[in-house]
Amino acid sequence: MPLSSTSTIALVELGHALRQAGYRFVTITPATHRRVNRRPENAWASDVRGVFGWSRPFRAGVLPPEVEAAARRAGVLVPHDQDGQPGWRSLVRASSVGDCLYFHSAWPTSDEDAVFFGPDTYRYIAAMRRSLGRLGRPVQRAVDIGAGSGAGAIELALQFRTATVYGADINDAALNLVDVNAALNGAANVIPCRSDLLDGVDGHVDLVMSNPPYILDEDELAYRHGGGEHGAALSIDIVRCALERLHAGGSLLLYTGSAIVDGQDRFLDAIRPDLDGRCSGWQYEELDPDIFGGQLGCDGYENVERIAAVWLHAVKAA
């Protein structure tokens, strides 16, 4: 069953059941996830973290009865046969950020409509929080472009309870989980919104934030593929679109990846004229100098020496 058709109420109930069971899980990179799950002792889940964190198949009796009942009502458990042994597996994972819990797609995230959550999400939220004390104007309307699980939009909405925060995405499964996760975490001021960039949001806004796809993906999966310019095309479009739609003094908060070629940051080179020409101030920093190193062996990265995780905070000029 696709995640876009799961029941919001039933998934929220599952989230509450997981919390009552003391569930917490920090989601790591797909490569690390794969290595850990390949260990022989991890072929089957032995506890609730194995089911909803590590996405391992499980047999009867592993889940607490309240959690299993809630998961079945939500329709997220499907039959699974492994080496002739029958069991079940979950269609969703759940990740912890502080006291919040976020549902997203099960591992591996190979479907076109997969809703991704990982280390980038944690870096995105942490950088966003650090920037909130330096905004150029009060936040009444904000939008998270490519909201995915809704974690960024929800974390912002919990900081600005009177603001309307749009969780924008083109993926129905993502929009469903934005709705679920907002309800689960008490962020009633988050509105799921189908939108390609900002075409589904009317008028001007006070803040635009985004953690978009930023690599070249040979399968062009929506949650991974950032388009041309070594994967930076979508991030460049977001910068330009945001600067069109922000109020004067409004902020753009962008977490993305940038290909470094011969020591030059190609993404920054592309957006610098827009920032210098349309902003009263902007800050740009590398949060991590070397991420997705394995990507450098793929087509399109022949002259790239590293991919950096970068953070941009730009304030639109009057």
CA distance 45 to 28: 17
DSSP at 6: S
Chain segment 43-55, per-residue pLDDT in tens: 999 999 999 999 9
232 CA to centre of own chain: 17
Rounded mean pLDDT of the chain?
Answer: 95
156 Cβ contact partners less than 8 Å away, ≥ 6 residues apart = 128, 139, 142, 144, 163, 165, 207, 209
Q: Are 149 and 102 in contact (CB under 8 A)?
A: yes
Chain segment 193-210, per-residue pLDDT in tens: 999 999 999 999 999 999
105 Cβ contact partners less than 8 Å away, ≥ 6 residues apart = 3, 91, 92, 93, 111, 114, 115, 116, 117, 173
Confidence of residue 225 (pLDDT cuts 50, 70, 90): confident
State yes or no: pLDDT of 1 exceeds 70. Answer: no
Distances (CA, A) of 27 to 6, 24, 86, 140: 22, 10, 26, 31
State yes or no: pLDDT of 3 exceeds 70. Answer: no
CATH architecture of 119-316: 3-Layer(aba) Sandwich (3.40)
Chain segment 278-291, per-residue pLDDT in tens: 999 999 999 999 99
- Going by C-alpha positions, the residue among 105, 118, 91 that lies closest to residue 29 is 118
Q: Are 121 and 223 in contact (CB under 8 A)?
A: no
Q: Count of alpha carbons within 13 Å of 172, Cβ hemisphere only?
A: 5
Encode burial over 102-120: b for 16+ CB neighbours within 10 A, e otherwise.
Answer: bbbbbbebeeebbbbbbbb
Tokens of 104: 């997203």
State yes or no: pLDDT of 143 exceeds 60. Answer: yes
Chain segment 233-272, per-residue pLDDT in tens: 999 999 999 999 999 999 999 999 999 999 999 999 999 9
DSSP at 262: T
Q: pTM to 2 decimals?
A: 0.95
206 CA to centre of own chain: 21
- Going by C-alpha positions, the residue among 10, 132, 163 that lies closest to residue 72 is 10
Would you list the domain boundaries of the chain? 3-105, 119-316
The stretch 15-20 carries a mean pLDDT of: 98
Q: Are 235 and 167 in contact (CB under 8 A)?
A: no
- Phi (first) and psi of residue 305, to 5 degrees: -95, -25
Q: Could you tell me which residue, 20 or 136, shows the higher pLDDT? A: 20
CA distance 87 to 79: 6
